[in-house]
Chain A
């Protein structure tokens, strides 16, 4: 059973619209992340959260907003979508322990038309 659940698996959106990518993890981890993977920028770090607090933000655009309603949830809201936002978005998590690896979800493939 997948321990990091991302929904939906595939998503097609119209330019200018808003979408929310869902992520829940059942590994008991306290740190969660978003990464983006596209042909132009393979596996780009976006955000890290620990205990529902933002730890690091490498995304220049405020159109990307993480939302954490529970410790094991980290959704990603994207507003004013552009075709360049088309990518696979991976949610990940890790224990709040130095040196442990990051565990990845299966990703949401977003296509903006």
Chain B
């Protein structure tokens, strides 16, 4: 079945620096990709969803890159601020089974002021 590896598990950056989180997946049928943010003690909130047809997606303060050839998905937070401190999870589902969304193990990001 699908395997999703997320790196790094922990990341500390200074305010204003960029932070990059990467996920690799194994299922070539993976078609839908998601990034979620989980603040301490809270539930998961969707940050962005990406379809396989789009390689670059920009949000407010971050960019998501999808490299289908290498089966790699990355989240790049530009100019991180303390409010970005949270756990981030990538998630993947295949077009052959949209009900099964597999999550990476998460990255705990700490932005130092």
On whether the two chains bind one another, the answer is yes
Residues of A within 8 A of B (CB): 31, 33, 35, 42-43, 45, 48, 50, 55-56, 90, 94, 97-107
A-B pairs with beta carbons under 8 Å apart, 25 shown:
A33-B101, A42-B89, A42-B103, A42-B106, A43-B89, A43-B103, A45-B103, A50-B99, A55-B100, A56-B97, A90-B44, A94-B101, A98-B32, A98-B95, A98-B98, A99-B31, A99-B32, A99-B51, A99-B93, A99-B95, A100-B98, A101-B46, A102-B91, A102-B101, A107-B43
Roughly how many angstroms separate A70 CA and B1 CA in the complex, as a whole number? Answer: 30
> Which A residues are in CB contact (< 8 Å) with B89?
42-43
Shortest A43–chain B CB gap in Å is 4
Chain B residue nearest to A90 (CB atoms) is B43
> Which B residues are in CB contact (< 8 Å) with A50?
99
Residues of B within 8 A of A (CB): 31-32, 34, 42-46, 49, 51, 89, 91, 93, 95, 97-103, 105-106
A105 near B99 with CB under 8 A, answer no
B99 near A55 with CB under 8 A, answer yes
Chain B residue nearest to A2 (CB atoms) is B43
Chain A residue nearest to B87 (CB atoms) is A42
Chain A residue nearest to B51 (CB atoms) is A99
Roughly how many angstroms separate A106 CA and B42 CA in the complex, as a whole number? Answer: 6
Give the number of residue pairs across the A-B interface with Cβ within 8 Å.
57
Chain B residue nearest to A35 (CB atoms) is B103
Given contacts A43-B44, A94-B101, A100-B98, 17 further A-B contacts (CB under 8 A): A35-B103, A42-B89, A42-B105, A43-B105, A43-B106, A45-B101, A45-B103, A56-B97, A97-B98, A98-B98, A99-B49, A99-B51, A99-B93, A101-B46, A101-B49, A101-B101, A104-B43
B100 near A45 with CB under 8 A, answer yes
Known pairs A42-B105, A99-B31; A48 contacts B44 (CB<8 A): no
> Which A residues are in CB contact (< 8 Å) with B44?
43, 90, 104
